[in-house]
Each structure stands twice: as structure tokens, then as C-alpha cells.
Amino acid sequence: MLICATCAVERDEPLPELCPICADERQYVPEDGQRWLTMDELTRTGRHTVLEQNEPGLIGISTEPKAGIGQTAQLVLTPEGSLLWDPVGYIDDQTVESVLDHGPVLAIAASHPHMFGVQVEWSHRLGHVPVLVADADRQWLGRTDPCITFWSGTKAITEGLVLYQTGGHFPGSAVAHWAAGAAGKGVLLSGDSVFPNPDRRTVAFMRSYPNRLPLSGAVALGIAARLDELEFDRIYGNFNNVIPSGARGVVRESAQRHAAWTRGDFDHLT
């Protein structure tokens, strides 16, 4: 198993010339070319993981220095066990021990293929727990393994913790809805289809962030309508970017604003 230096997604050998995820229009291959790394190489650079409690029952897991895209994984704790969401592209024994100190892991899932990280490696180290992959995005898997389970539409992890397929950034893009989060008001863990902006008052709907390619207004409105069926007050994005409160309304209003701009309603401002 090798890891793409740019996106930190694991891949079986034989390796392609370029990482398919990075060669796609949503990502990029760096100017200095494709590089593949081993986990040992990542370790020798002094990488380590940092666990930080975002709120009761939710722990952010990041890597310093970052591995690949540098997402923050989220460990959602429930009485039955935990969900590891958007797994990072690095893992070591200390991190495994820290995760398991919080109880058994029920499943691993990613919001979209850019966030696959070393998900199979995480599974193996955590007891061969299921890795849930949206069936619509199975073509982007770089590593196959019996631990992988495909799903579509919705997938319950345990009571009060459910995955919902929204599409958008990728056809299989998903969110995790945690009903007990935000003191019982509900938390949404999102990826690039619904991305909390730096103003903490709006979200973005993009096909590509690095290459500045938006989704259509119709798609943004469709995602918002799907999520409006859920109860949630807070959103955590895949870089620990947060909409701290009123998030359900933020998604609805942001989608309307996005659609208005793509229709040309505000062309007089340009």
C-alpha cells in the first residue's frame, strides 16, 4: 500500500502513473509531479496526530504536519460505539490506542473520495471494522479490501447517527447526522458539498474548491432541500470549519443565495 503525497489517499500496487483522484478536474497534480509515499516515510517526517474535543461526544483528529489535503477527521461517540468520519491519511499506534480508549469503532466513512485517506489501514488497525463507501463513488477506490461495504441513500450507524447521500461535489457525497450533538439540537458533519465558509454564517456548494468550479443553483437547492428534512443546529466541515448555530437555516439561505448568483440576479453588482 502506498499513499498519494498530494491527497493522502491509499492505493494498491501496481500504481497508476498519476493518482486518479488528483488528476480529476476537482483536484490537481502538483507542478513538481506525482509522488507516492509509504507510511514509514510519513512517520520519519515527524508526523503525529492531534486529538481535540470539539464538544461533548465529538473529537477532532488532525495530523501535524498535515498529510495530503489535511482534513480533520471526526470521531463521533455514542453509547454503542463510535464513527470515524473523514479519516486522515496517517495513522500510528498511539492514535489507534487513543481512539479505542473511547470505546469500539462501529464504522469508518468519508464524506467523499478526497477524504478516503488511509481508510482501509484505519480499519485494519481498529479491528477490521466496516469501511462504508457510497456505491456511486466506488470507481474512486484506490484500495480494495473485504472491510469495504457499499451503501446508497441512507445508512444508519446506530440510533441517532445516520449517513445521508446528498450528491453534489461527487455523486456519492454524504453527510453524517448526529442527533445528540449540539446539546440535543443536532449536528451535521459535512464535506465539500456543503462547506462552512470562513464567515461562519454561510456555506458553499462547489464541484472544485482548488479550481474554483461551482455547482449549479439547481444542485445547491436540491442539497439544501434534502438536508432541510433533518434537525440540526451546527455543522462541522472537513477542516473543522464550523457553523456554530442556526445551521439548518444557513444551508437553506446559502443555497438560495448561490442559486441567485448563478441565475444572474446580481450581475448588476459585477
pLDDT at 156: 98
Q: Note whether 170 and 136 are within 8 A (CB).
A: yes
Nearest Cα to 157, choosing from 169, 149, 168, 167?
149
Q: How far apart are CA 4 and CA 21, in angstroms?
A: 9
Quick check: helix, strand or coil at residue 64? strand
**Average pLDDT across the chain, whole number:** 98
Residue 251 confidence class, pLDDT cut points 50, 70, 90: very high
* Contact by Cβ (8 Å): 78, 65: no
User: 196-239, pLDDT tens digit by residue?
Assistant: 999 999 999 999 999 999 999 999 999 999 999 999 999 999 99
What percent of the chain lies above the pLDDT cut of 90?
Answer: 100
Distance of CA 93 to CAs 68, 78, 97, 124, 128, Å?
Answer: 20, 23, 6, 12, 15
List pLDDT tens digits, range 36-73.
Answer: 999 999 999 899 999 999 999 999 999 999 999 999 99
- Dihedral of alpha carbons 14, 29, 165, 91, sign: positive
pLDDT at 250: 98
What domains are there in the chain, each with its CATH number? 2-269 (3.60.15.10)
Ramachandran category for residue 34: left, alpha or beta (phi over 0 → left; psi -120 to 50 → alpha): beta
Residue 187 CA to residue 125 CA, distance in Å, equals: 27
What is the residue-wise DSSP string for 174-225?
Answer: EEEEETTHHHHT-EEE--TTSEE-TTSS-EE-EEETTTTEEPPHHHHHHHHH
pLDDT classification of 92: cutoffs 50, 70, 90? very high
Asked if the peptide bond before residue 65 counts as cis, ω within 30 degrees of 0, the response is yes
Q: What is the pLDDT of residues 161-185, one digit of tens each?
A: 999 999 999 999 999 999 999 999 9
Residue listed under C-alpha cell 488528483: 22
Count CB-CB contacts under 10 A for residue 219: 21
